[in-house]
Amino acid sequence: MTSDNSNTSKVKKIIGYTLPLVLMVVLLYFSFRNTNFDEVISILQNMSLKWYTIFLVVWFFSHWLRAVRWKVIIHSVKEDTSTLNLFGATMVGYGVNCVVPRLGEIYRGLFLGKWEDISRSSMIGTIVLERVIDILVLGFSVLISVAIYSGNLYSDITWLRSTVYLGFAGIFGIMVILLFLIKFKEKFYNAITKFVGKFSTKLADALARAFHLLLDGLTSIKGAKNYFYIISLSALIMVIYALTSYIAFFILGMQNIQEVDFAMAWIVMSIGAFGVVIPTPGATGSYHLIVIFVLISLFNFNQEISSAYALLTHTTSVVLFILSTVFLTYFINKRQAAHNKPSANFLTVFKQRANSI
């Protein structure tokens, strides 16, 4: 029986790691199957280094803002969290996601918990809360795209309306569940303790504590001022994301092909974000397919310039995420050691004090 369970577990792991890779290859094929790569390379070779430098600065600033927003979210869990540590953990999360989809969400919570000596359960709770906020903001960003698009966006992208409806419905369901857990947390706490306690009192205490800490993370936003900061920062993050999309037009000289504006960049950014939701390593393939589709179908750019745009923006992000993960992990660990504070790597983050789950 144990052997069968072990084999089943291995098969599930193999499928879990293989399926995203297969999906990535298939999506890349459909993204570039009609592309003249000689022309794409020529476009990339003639890109504007001035605009590319501006793009890099704005790109880093957008992710720094995410770290600042995370700091506001966890303020009630720990007031004096280092913004640099938050930024480092954020980039670690993105870097890991470039290799294994969604695993980065766990790692960034573990890294920050280690560097700041905060419970991992409460960190996971803040990450769940942050992702709920992100999906809500994305939904509103798409609605803005629908409003500013010159045509009928729902007609031109047939899957968009149902995706938006399902997204809002899903978020509503998650929020109801979270509110239910928070309202009746003592009953859940007692149920966990009673059921698991039949097998192990120590495990029951550990799970109950983890449950409390998780809820602490989920309810970490306190005070009208913090709500205002989070809403403002979330809106600003989307504006900066759209700005990077806008700057990318000028890197490739797309303004010389036809007029480009910020509304166009906003639509590319908001619709392209759906490619990031699909679980492929670093959104590879899924991002390319959607962005190329948007540029060709909505704005009449050709296959080659659209492919160059997708390759430039995506490859830049992946390379920067991975390099930032390596550099910031090394730099922050050095800084932590100099101040006699905990350091972290991809193995030690799973080790934590017994009384800090």
Q: What is the dihedral of CA 299, 300, 303, 304, to 10 degrees?
A: -80
Q: Are the C-beta atoms of residues 271 and 139 closer than 8 Å to each other?
A: no
Q: How high does pLDDT run on average in the chain?
A: 87
| 308 Cβ contact list (under 8 Å, min separation 6) | 40, 43, 44, 252
pLDDT of res. 234: 95
Confidence at 334, pLDDT banded by 50, 70, 90: very high
What pLDDT does residue 20 have? 85
What percentage of the chain carries pLDDT values higher than 70?
A: 87
Q: What is the pLDDT of residue 100?
A: 87
Residue type (1 letter), 109: G
Q: How large is the average pLDDT for residues 267-279?
A: 91
pLDDT at 6: 57
- State the Cα–Cα distance between residues 316 and 176, nearest whole angstrom: 38
Q: Which residues of 127-148 are buried (b: 16+ CB within 10 A; e: fewer)?
A: bbbbebbbbbbbbebbebbbee
Cβ atoms 267, 298 nearer than 8 A: yes
pLDDT digit string (tens) for 285-321? Answer: 999 999 999 999 999 999 999 999 999 999 999 999 9
What is the pLDDT, as a whole number, of residue 214? 64
Domain ranges of the chain: 2-350
Are 36 and 297 spatial neighbours (Cβ–Cβ below 8 Å)? no
Q: How far apart are the first and last CA of the chain?
A: 31
Q: pLDDT (tens digit, 9 = 90+) per residue, 57-78?
A: 999 999 999 999 999 988 878 8
pLDDT tens, position by position, 82-137:
999 999 999 999 999 998 888 888 899 899 989 998 877 778 778 888 888 898 89
Percent of the chain with pLDDT over 90: 56
Report how far residue 232's alpha carbon sits from residue 299's, in angstroms, rounded to the nearest whole number: 30
Instruction: Specify burial of residue 112 (Cβ count, 10 A radius: 0-12, 13-18, 19+).
Output: buried
pLDDT average, residue stretch 201-212: 65
CA 141 to chain CA centroid, nearest Å: 16
User: What pLDDT, on the 0 to 100 scale, is given for residue 80?
Assistant: 86
For residue 4, name the pLDDT band (cuts at 50, 70, 90): low
SS3 81: coil
The pLDDT assigned to 276 comes to 84
What stretch of H or E contains 6?
helix 2-32
Confidence tier at 203 by pLDDT (50, 70, 90): low
pLDDT recorded at residue 352: 56
- 125-179 confidence digits (pLDDT tens): 788 888 888 988 998 999 999 999 999 999 999 989 998 888 888 878 877 877 7
The model's pTM? 0.86
For residues 330 and 312, give the distance between their C-alpha atoms in angstroms, rounded to a whole number: 27
Least confident of 46-55, 102-111, 202-211, 241-250: 202-211
Task: Compute φ and ψ for 343, nearest 5 degrees.
Answer: -105, 175
Cβ atoms of residues 128 and 99 within 8 Å: no
Q: In the structure encoding, which two tokens stand for residue 139, read together?
A: 């939904």
Does the pLDDT value for residue 354 go beyond 50? no
Indicate the DSSP class of residue 99.
T
